[in-house]
């Protein structure tokens, strides 16, 4: 199910709240799920609020979103429906790092296989970062300024944006700047190489051609420099993205077709790694990577009786190139191609039908079919990989698809939903054609396997929500049963390349794997001004030998008290994980200890003349506890005590 | 006839666009119809091969046969270095500038004069030329693998005999400049079995690229007397290779195959290179019975160095 651009041609409007989806509202309006830090929060901090999402940290910046315990390989991330692919072979730059909170209206999460027709290759779920557009019906003129500071790491965030909205034209744009030094863990020790700095500028335009149609465009420029990654052996000198799109939207009054949008887009990412800041580098390496994507989609929304249909056709071409030059002191440089300039042409057709069976129940069915062709354009990269896979081809194609259905039943006080689906995905460029990519998690060099089979999964999910007097309970669970699960497998016959690596793993398919996630949420309105919320979560992952998979959350809990007194709102929160007893030992994971932290936050909303101001302040990790979670790459510690404050002004 | 004119036209275009305008051997504008000389197509192929930019003439080795034919000798960049060197010969008829098809170069004798020690010795050599490529018989090929470089006091000389069907000439010792090989390269190694010394000459490893490559070498035996060119060893060996990157904790590649003796006397195997840089190819030389005669099993001290 999905938030569609129905009705007028302003930004997304919710048709009805849905259970499988969650929305983190990033923009100014007060939403139920958004980071307590408000506008200056990073996208990662907004993502943390979503139920099915966790984040893998390699540093203080650019965390990797994980949906239903599945990382980037198994999920789809789009920006306003546009495909975009990260450019770093070490996953230092998930695509969420190339936009800023100021660019976004909301982040839409579809859990599992069901949902977003614009997602391709998603098994765990899909995230669509919806851009903020002023629309034709907003205030004539609007301006906002944000400034924030955090004590741990001396983080400073500044942002300004403006919007002009007329009947036939709108534009909104802004700039922001984010800068932090090294942060400190609990106890005060500084975590070296955890600094970052980022600049972002964007502009959206809209021209109304008639009562029914409009043209819209987007431009985003994002540039991060001098970014440190304490969990890795290298940092980033520059990570830069250009994101542009042009779309045509039409609102129809027809009996059947109600809306139609066609968008063409282009994005280009440049990512340059840097090891010159690190001491004791045995061999200096240059490791640049680039990603280009151009594509289009055409989305149609229709209504026929009890059916609400969405159809989407998409086509994109993506090119990924990365190489590595090593400079051993004195001797000749060593060069190899790590992503062999892979060109992927992918086209897909998706169909969603939301059927309102009656007042109380509905069924949502979604399906997608996609075909893709890949070519290794680097002759040198192709020849290098052929040493390990003699006789391999230079061109491959894959067919992928998914189909899922979900049934919802609502009564006065409860909501029940059950769903199932089947889907498969093609291997990523790293899994199929990656060449000697070092993984600091397990200290192995990974080589891609062009002969991998598509990975497929069957999903079962269910949730039940009910209200009793002033409290609300919700149980949510899902399970994914994989076939041909893609994972790196030990290859003792091969020799590692990275100095001090343990050995080589080659990606392969294991016959089965299972991932399951459970969560229980409880909310109690104790008093009109006092709310108590609790969330408990647990996940498990097993491979075909019954061994635990890595990066699966142990038992996790959050409980908080929210107080609202007039314009002042405050929260006390306890957050923690149990000891990770099921850890992926076979995959090089180390267990993490149990931890718990206390957070305090408050915000105060007031107005001066016509301006609206919000002042937020809080203390994260009040007791300055030193801790690390299962999702911290190489067990890098989380922040110690952090006092933050920020001010948002809207004129 | 039409083909001839067409090729001549191509020749004109080629001449006018040739980079090396200092070429003394003027390119013939007309192809001579002479039994001894090459056809238009053969001439074109020979010409393009000799002017492909890699080869250059070694002018000190130039000679004539009976005043009627001119012999030119070519090597890569016109230079020679320690280890294996390709040498190409082309014979032209002075009267009509045509390339001659049937000729041979024999008794190729390189000689090192060590003036300080008053000693002379030769080096592994292909003493007789062979036709390089049957589609253009105008070019003859031989090779010389120099065991050392020229210095101030020690110099190399080369003599040969060039023969057509009816005539021949002996080119007396011309001095040659043999350069030391660049750092990160070591393409000639030797080993002793009893009183015999053998030489392992690796052929053109700079032609290698990342991926799978053919590795070729010659095994020569020191002659007695040492002033005779060292011929190919008559014994049959197997040269096992273990390519490693010493700068990369001895990273190695999979599926390398040993060099085995081929019908033409050369040794050939397969080497896989996972990246560019310095590769140290450790060698274990085994005799026909499988006994190790040179080098060791693990990270042998006998090795070639190649930087690609």
A412 touching chain B per CB within 8 A: no
A495 touching chain B per CB within 8 A: yes
B280, B157: one domain: no
Give the 3-state secondary structure of A199-214. EEEEEEEEEECCCCEE
More confident residue, A282 or B216: B216
pLDDT of residue B117: 86
Cβ count near B227 (within 10 Å): 13
Q: Which of B184, B212, B252 sits opposite A331 (nearest CB)?
A: B184
Chain segment A615-625, per-residue pLDDT in tens: 999 999 999 99
Q: Which of A388, A390, A495 sits opposite B251 (nearest CB)?
A: A495
pLDDT of residue A15: 28
Q: Which of A283, A334, A387 sits opposite B276 (nearest CB)?
A: A334
B209, B174: one domain: no
Q: Which of A283, A336, A496 sits opposite B210 (nearest CB)?
A: A336
Cα–Cα distance, A273 to A281 (Å, whole number): 14
Cβ neighbours of A328 in B, within 8 Å: 247-248, 277-278
Cβ neighbours of A390 in B, within 8 Å: 212, 255
Please report the DSSP string for B60-97 in residue order. Answer: GG-EEETTTEEEEEEEETT-EESEEEEEEEEEEETTT-
pLDDT of residue B14: 55
pLDDT of residue B7: 57
More confident residue, A17 or B235: B235
B230, B139: one domain: no
pLDDT at B237 over 90: yes
Q: Are A300 and A312 in contact (CB under 8 A)?
A: yes
Measure A190 CA to nearest chain B CA, in Å. Answer: 32
Which one of A281, A282, A331 would you mutate to disrupt binding with B, by most B Cβ within 10 Å of its Cβ?
A331
pLDDT of residue A27: 62
B158, B198: one domain: no
Cα–Cα distance, A75 to A77 (Å, whole number): 7
| DSSP H/E element including A44 | helix A43-47
Position B19 confidence tier, pLDDT thresholds 50, 70, 90? very low
**CA atoms within 13 A of residue A21's CA, in its CB half-sphere:** 24
Position B235 confidence tier, pLDDT thresholds 50, 70, 90? very high
The arithmetic mean of pLDDT across residues B59-80, rounded, is 90
Cα–Cα distance, A580 to A556 (Å, whole number): 10
Position B97 confidence tier, pLDDT thresholds 50, 70, 90? confident
A325 touching chain B per CB within 8 A: no
B163, B198: one domain: no
pLDDT of residue A571: 95
Chain segment A280-313, per-residue pLDDT in tens: 888 999 999 999 999 999 999 999 999 999 999 9
A477 touching chain B per CB within 8 A: no
Cβ neighbours of B278 in A, within 8 Å: 328, 331-332, 334
Q: Are A267 and A131 in contact (CB under 8 A)?
A: no
B6, B128: one domain: yes
B27, B133: one domain: yes
Cβ neighbours of B275 in A, within 8 Å: 334-336, 384, 436, 497
Looking only at the bridges linking them, the beta strands covering B238-245 and B83-93 are unpaired
B106, B203: one domain: no
Q: Which of B118, B153, B179 is the last residue before a domain boundary? A: B179
Q: Which of B251, B273, B278 sits opposite A332 (nearest CB)?
A: B278
A21-650 CATH choice from 3.90.660.10, 2.40.170.20, 1.10.357.10, 2.40.160.10: 2.40.170.20
pLDDT at B274 over 50: yes
Q: Which residue of B has its CA nearest to A498?
A: B248
B154, B22: one domain: yes
Whole domain around residue B94: which residue ranges?
2-179
B156, B197: one domain: no
Q: Which residue of B has its CA nearest to A386?
A: B211
pLDDT of residue A20: 40
- Supply the DSSP symbol for B42: H
Q: What is the CATH number of the domain that holds B51?
A: 2.60.40
**B251 to A497: CB separation less than 8 angstroms, yes or no:** yes
Sign of the dihedral defined by the CA atoms of residues A58, A74, A312, A420, in that order: negative
pLDDT of residue B18: 47
pLDDT at B16 over 80: no
Q: Which residue of A has its CA nearest to B254?
A: A494
A386 touching chain B per CB within 8 A: yes
CB pairs under 8 A between A and B: 79
**A335 to B307: CB separation less than 8 angstroms, yes or no:** no
B271, B140: one domain: no
Per DSSP, chain B holds a count of helices (H) and strands (E) of 2, 22
B295, B173: one domain: no
| DSSP H/E element including A314 | strand A307-327
Of A257-266, A623-632, B65-74, B285-294, least confident by mean pLDDT is B65-74
Token output for A120: 């391709």
Work out how many domains chain B is built from and give that number: 2
Q: Which of A333, A380, A386 sits opposite B212 (nearest CB)?
A: A386
**B212 to A383: CB separation less than 8 angstroms, yes or no:** yes
Q: Which of B124, B153, B179 is the last residue before a domain boundary? A: B179
pLDDT of residue A11: 30
| Average pLDDT, 10 consecutive residues per value, chain A (651 residues) | 28 31 62 78 90 92 95 96 95 93 90 91 94 89 95 96 94 96 95 96 95 94 95 93 96 85 97 93 93 97 92 97 92 94 97 93 95 97 96 96 95 94 97 95 95 97 94 96 96 91 95 97 95 96 96 96 93 96 91 96 92 94 96 94 95 86
Q: Which residue of A has its CA nearest to B271?
A: A387
Cβ count near B35 (within 10 Å): 7
Q: Which of B179, B206, B235 is the last residue before a domain boundary? A: B179
């Amino acid at each position: 199910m999905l938030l569609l651009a129905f009705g007028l041609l302003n930004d997304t409007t919710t048709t009805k709240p849905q259970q499988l989806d969650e929305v983190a509202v990033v923009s100014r309006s007060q939403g139920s799920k958004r980071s307590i830090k408000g506008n200056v929060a990073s996208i990662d901090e907004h993502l943390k609020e979503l139920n099915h999402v966790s984040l893998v940290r390699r540093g203080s910046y650019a965390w990797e979103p994980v949906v239903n315990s599945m990382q980037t390989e198994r999920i789809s991330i789009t920006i306003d429906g546009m495909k975009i692919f990260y450019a770093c072979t070490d996953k230092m730059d998930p695509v969420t790092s190339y936009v800023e909170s100021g660019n976004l209206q909301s982040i839409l999460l579809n859990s599992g296989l069901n949902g977003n027709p614009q997602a391709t290759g998603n098994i765990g779920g899909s995230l669509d970062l919806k851009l903020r557009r002023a629309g034709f019906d907003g205030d004539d003129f609007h301006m906002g300024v944000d400034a924030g500071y955090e004590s741990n790491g001396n983080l400073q965030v500044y942002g300004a944006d403006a919007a002009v909205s007329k009947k036939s034209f709108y534009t909104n744009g802004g700039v922001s700047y984010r800068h932090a030094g090294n942060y400190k863990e609990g106890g005060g020790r500084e975590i070296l190489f955890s600094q970052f700095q980022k600049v972002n500028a964007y502009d959206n335009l809209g021209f109304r051609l008639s009562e029914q149609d409009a043209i819209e465009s987007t431009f985003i420029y994002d540039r991060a420099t001098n970014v440190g990654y304490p969990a890795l052996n290298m940092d980033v000198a520059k990570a830069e993205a250009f994101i542009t799109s042009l779309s045509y939207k039409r609102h129809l009054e027809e009996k059947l077709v109600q809306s139609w949008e066609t968008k063409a887009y282009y994005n280009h990412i440049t990512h340059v790694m840097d090891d010159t800041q690190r001491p004791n580098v045995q061999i200096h390496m240059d490791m640049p990577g680039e990603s280009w994507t151009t594509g289009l989609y055409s989305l149609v929304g229709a209504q026929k009786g009890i059916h609400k249909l969405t159809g989407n056709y998409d086509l994109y071409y993506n090119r990924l190139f990365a190489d590595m030059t090593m400079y051993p002191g004195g001797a000749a440089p060593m060069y190899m191609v790590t992503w062999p300039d892979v060109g992927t042409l992918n086209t897909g057709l998706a169909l969603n039908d939301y059927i309102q069976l009656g007042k109380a129940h509905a069924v949502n069915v979604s399906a997608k079919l996609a075909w893709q062709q890949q070519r290794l354009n680097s002759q040198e990269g192709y020849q290098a990989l052929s040493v390990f896979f003699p006789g391999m081809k230079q061109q491959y194609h894959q067919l992928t698809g998914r189909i899922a259905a979900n049934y919802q039943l609502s009564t006065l006080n409860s909501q029940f939903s059950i769903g199932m689906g089947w889907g498969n995905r093609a291997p990523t460029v790293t899994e199929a054609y990656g060449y000697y990519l070092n993984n600091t998690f397990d200290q192995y060099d990974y080589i891609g396997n062009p002969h991998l089979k598509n990975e497929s999964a069957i999903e079962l999910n269910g949730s039940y929500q009910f209200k009793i007097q002033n409290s609300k309970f919700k149980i949510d669970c899902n399970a994914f049963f994989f076939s041909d699960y893609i994972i790196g497998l030990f290859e003792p016959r091969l020799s590692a390349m990275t100095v001090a690596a343990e050995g080589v793993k080659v990606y392969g398919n294991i016959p089965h794997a299972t991932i399951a996630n459970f969560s229980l949420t409880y909310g109690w309105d104790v008093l009109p001004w006092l709310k108590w919320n609790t969330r408990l979560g647990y996940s498990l992952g097993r491979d075909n030998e019954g061994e635990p998979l890595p990066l699966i959350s142990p038992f996790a809990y959050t409980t908080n008290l929210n107080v609202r007194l007039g314009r002042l709102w405050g929260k006390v929160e306890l957050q923690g994980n149990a000891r990770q007893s099921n850890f992926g030992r076979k995959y090089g994971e180390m267990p993490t200890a149990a931890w718990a932290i206390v957070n305090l936050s408050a915000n105060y909303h007031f107005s001066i003349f016509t301006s609206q101001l919000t002042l937020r302040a809080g203390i994260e990790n009040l007791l300055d506890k030193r801790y690390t979670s299962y999702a911290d790459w190489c067990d890098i510690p989380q922040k110690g005590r952090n006092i933050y404050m920020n001010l948002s002004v809207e004129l | 006839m039409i083909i001839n004119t067409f090729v001549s036209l191509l020749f004109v275009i080629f001449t006018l666009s040739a980079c090396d305008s200092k070429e003394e051997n003027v390119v013939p504008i007309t192809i001579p119809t002479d039994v001894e000389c090459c056809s238009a197509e053969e001439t074109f192929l020979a010409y393009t091969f000799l002017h492909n930019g890699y080869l250059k003439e070694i002018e000190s080795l130039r000679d004539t046969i009976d005043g009627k034919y001119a012999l030119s000798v070519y090597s890569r960049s016109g230079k020679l270095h320690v280890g294996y060197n390709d040498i190409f010969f082309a014979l032209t008829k002075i009267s009509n500038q045509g390339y001659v098809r049937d000729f041979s170069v024999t008794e190729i004798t390189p000689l090192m004069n060590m003036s300080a020690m008053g000693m002379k010795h030769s080096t592994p050599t292909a003493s007789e030329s062979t036709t390089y490529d049957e589609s253009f018989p105008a070019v003859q090929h031989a090779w010389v693998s120099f065991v050392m470089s020229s210095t101030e006091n020690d110099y190399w000389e080369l003599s040969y005999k060039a023969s057509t069907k009816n005539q021949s000439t002996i080119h007396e010792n011309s001095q040659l400049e043999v350069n030391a090989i660049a750092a990160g390269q070591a393409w000639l190694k030797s080993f002793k079995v009893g009183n015999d010394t053998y030489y392992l000459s690796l052929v053109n490893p700079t032609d290698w690229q990342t991926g799978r490559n053919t590795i070729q070498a010659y095994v020569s035996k020191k002659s007695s007397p040492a002033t005779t060119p060292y011929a190919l060893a008559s014994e049959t060996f197997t040269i096992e290779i273990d390519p490693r990157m010493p700068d990369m904790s001895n990273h190695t590649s999979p599926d390398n195959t040993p060099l085995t003796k081929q019908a033409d006397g050369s040794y050939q195997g397969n080497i896989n290179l996972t990246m560019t840089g310095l590769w140290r190819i450790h060698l274990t030389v085994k005799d026909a019975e499988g006994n190790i005669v040179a080098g060791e099993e693990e990270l042998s001290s006998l090795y070639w160095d190649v930087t690609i």
